[in-house]
Structure 1
Amino acid sequence: MSEAPAETTPAETAASETALPEETALLEIRGLQVAFGGFRALDGVDLTVGRGELRFLIGPNGAGKTTLIDVITGLTKPTAGTVRFEGRDLAGRREHEIVRLGVGRTFQTSVVFEELTVLENLDLAASFRRPLWSLLRRGRGVSEEVAAALETIGLTSLARSRAGVLSHGQRQWLEIGMLIVQRPRLLLLDEPVAGMASDERERTGELLTEIARDHTVIVVEHDMDFLRRYASQVTVLHEGKVLMEGSVDEVRADPHVQEIYLGRAREDAEDAVR
């Protein structure tokens, strides 16, 4: 008589779900389509992002950049194609389920709780992954993860200040910090330097470089000077399709990017990407 299979504990089940081969690409998108009525916002997008990448996603308005981010995070449902994160299909999952799998995003307009302090915003975000009983201990001190996030985003001296008094750039850094404390493996940042002063853009570039050491980061961006200074790998979208992928130098040199992405005469385009 054969033995009954050993019962699997919840912890073992969770471990088996998270223990994925290191060679598995973090994000794999194949044949992705999104249609709004007769308009195809995404038209057969293929994209692979490996672990530890700082990938920039660029393209003219209407190219499908934000729609792509919306699909990855569950905000928009695809018409066709697949999106796999660490080997798991994201299709049909709700937004909060995708967040729990390890995907975090920011929006073009920062979303912080203005009446709460910087510290309270981070602590609230960190509670997302804490057991319920631990929430009773809030207020007894700053946790290590929150203290580390404050240091990373450069807001330690403003920890007790209300978020509503922060500058535009500082609010963006706080929102990034609120993602970090949730321990995502993939961060999706939608135009993080839009509207920033030059010194804030520089600090944001340094911040992205720093967090990319421990996370995979995809940045949707229009600022070509920012792209030139901080990007390594770039994906260019045009009319819902991947126009090209490559290094910053390859993208800058490509005549289709110069003419189609920038939408100008080649001479003007070359000046913009230098």
Structure 2
Amino acid sequence: MTALLEIRGLEVVFDGFRALDGVDLTVDQGELRFLIGPNGAGKTTLIDVITGLTRPAGGTVAFGGADLVGRKEHQIVRQGIGRTFQTSVVFEELTVVENLDLAASFRRPLRTLLRQRRGISDTVAEALETIGLTALAERPAGVLSHGQRQWLEIGMLIAQRPRLLLLDEPVAGMSRDERERTGELLTAIAEDHTVIVVEHDMEFLRRYASQVTVLHEGRVLVEGGVAEVRADPRVQEVYLGRNREEAA
């Protein structure tokens, strides 16, 4: 497989605290990678570095062979990287389809943004179908359930046609049914995209993850398949060991 994201020796220091301490990470094209670890392990900081929100003290981040360190957020988006945050960010007063159309518009020439939308573009229609919100296309985003808002935000990323999606705790606060639908959605998205998921829900991890990277104290503790990672005594001690029932 071809490496899409290659991180080497990544270091981030906040007021003397090493949030990331020599992280090496390789994610291949078309991979669905889960990133786990206890609070403070450096998961979100790692995502922030990839997307340009945080500048590292050392190391390299290469995406498709291009160095991302020092690039601005909008430049990284145009490179083909999109992310969600722990709290969904949608425009509540706009409809579902208007949110998707707005997200898709960043690749369109400025003159086309001044025209009134007529119909639904193929890109937006595909995103609607993928996230399962076609029937709610004309509903204001503000009336959606928590899970539906998360799916809409994922759809807004898909509409931008990224090569890499970074999803920060996408099932946080969801019901069991919503988590199941989200797992199916991520599996479907991974057929055409590379996806990195930051997650704490271990049941969700067991059901939908294939490759897992465990962070601890700013370092990569272990990587591998779900069964391999769960069986590693180091993981049980620093992460799963906090809840032995989940480790069983």
TMscore range, shorter length: over 0.9
4+ runs deviating over 6 angstroms: none
**Aligned with 1:167 (options 135, 142, 145):** 145
The match for 1:259 is 237
Aligned ranges 1:110-259 → 2 under 5 Å = 110-259=88-237
The two structures have a TM-score, normalised by structure 1, of: 0.89
Kept in 2, the 8 Å contact 1:103–1:186? The answer is yes
Q: CA deviation digits over 1:33-69, x for unaligned, max 9?
A: 0000110000000000000000000000000000000
Q: Does 1:273 align with 2:247?
A: yes
Q: Partners of 1:41 and 1:85 in 2: how far apart?
A: 22
Q: CA deviation digits over 1:249-273, x for unaligned, max 9?
A: 0011111111111343xxx53x303
Kept in 2, the 8 Å contact 1:228–1:273? The answer is no
The match for 1:35 is 13
Q: Does 1:109 align with 2:87?
A: yes
Deviation at 1:26, TM superposition (A): 0.3
The residue type paired with residue 251 of structure 1 is V
The two structures have a TM-score, normalised by structure 2, of: 0.98
Q: Does 1:88 align with 2:66?
A: yes
Kept in 2, the 8 Å contact 1:24–1:87? The answer is no
Q: Partners of 1:34 and 1:226 in 2: how far apart?
A: 29
Deviation at 1:25, TM superposition (A): 1.2
Q: CA deviation digits over 1:59-94, x for unaligned, max 9?
A: 000000000000000000000000000000001000
Kept in 2, the 8 Å contact 1:110–1:172? The answer is yes
Q: Partners of 2:187 and 2:175 in 1: how far apart?
A: 19
The match for 1:98 is 76
Matched residues, number: 248
Q: Partners of 1:261 and 1:77 in 2: how far apart?
A: 27
Q: Partners of 2:192 and 2:135 in 1: how far apart?
A: 24
Gap runs ≥5 in structure 1:
1-22
The residue type paired with residue 109 of structure 2 is P
Q: Partners of 1:250 and 1:185 in 2: how far apart?
A: 28
**Aligned with 2:24 (options 46, 55, 59):** 46
The residue type paired with residue 184 of structure 1 is P
Q: Partners of 2:58 and 2:113 in 1: how far apart?
A: 41
The residue type paired with residue 139 of structure 2 is S
The residue type paired with residue 69 of structure 1 is I
The residue type paired with residue 121 of structure 1 is N
Kept in 1, the 8 Å contact 2:240–2:247? The answer is no
Secondary structure, aligned partner of 2:3:
coil
Q: Partners of 1:103 and 1:259 in 2: how far apart?
A: 34
The structure whose Rg is larger is 1
Q: CA deviation digits over 1:191-218, x for unaligned, max 9?
A: 0000000000000000000000000000
Q: Partners of 1:67 and 1:133 in 2: how far apart?
A: 37
Q: Does 1:76 align with 2:50?
A: no
Q: Partners of 1:33 and 1:262 in 2: how far apart?
A: 25
Deviation at 1:137, TM superposition (A): 3.9
Sequence identity (%):
81
Q: RMSD of the alignment, in Å?
A: 1.0
Kept in 1, the 8 Å contact 2:32–2:190? The answer is yes
Secondary structure, aligned partner of 2:223:
strand
